[in-house]
Amino acid sequence: MSRASAVGLLVDARQALTADLRDKPPQEAERHQRMLQDVERLLLNVRAGRTNEFHLEFPTRVHVLVSN
């Protein structure tokens, strides 16, 4: 997947997690908040070119290899 597509995938995942976070009880919200932080960190690393491969669990499981 191109770097631009990978960034788009992560942006979409971040938006989905943010929307889903509003509807969660406190116990699940904490877990989703951690997932959101992980996606945001991954987004920065993919944009900067520091990460070329990652697994995404939400909203669906996917393994991504980033190409330049």
Predicted local confidence at residue 32, as pLDDT: 84
Predicted local confidence at residue 23, as pLDDT: 78
- Give pTM, 2 decimals: 0.88
pLDDT over threshold 90, residue 6: yes
Residue 15 backbone phi and psi in degrees, to 5:
-65, -40
Banded pLDDT at 22 (limits 50, 70, 90): confident
Name the residue ranges covered by the structural domains of the chain: 3-65
Residue-wise pLDDT for 24-51, tens only, equals 788 888 888 999 999 999 999 999 999 9
pLDDT over threshold 90, residue 57: no
Assigned token pair, 32: 């989703």
> Average pLDDT of the chain?
91
Distant-in-sequence, close-in-space partners of 58: CB < 8 Å, separation ≥ 6: 13, 16, 17, 20, 35, 39
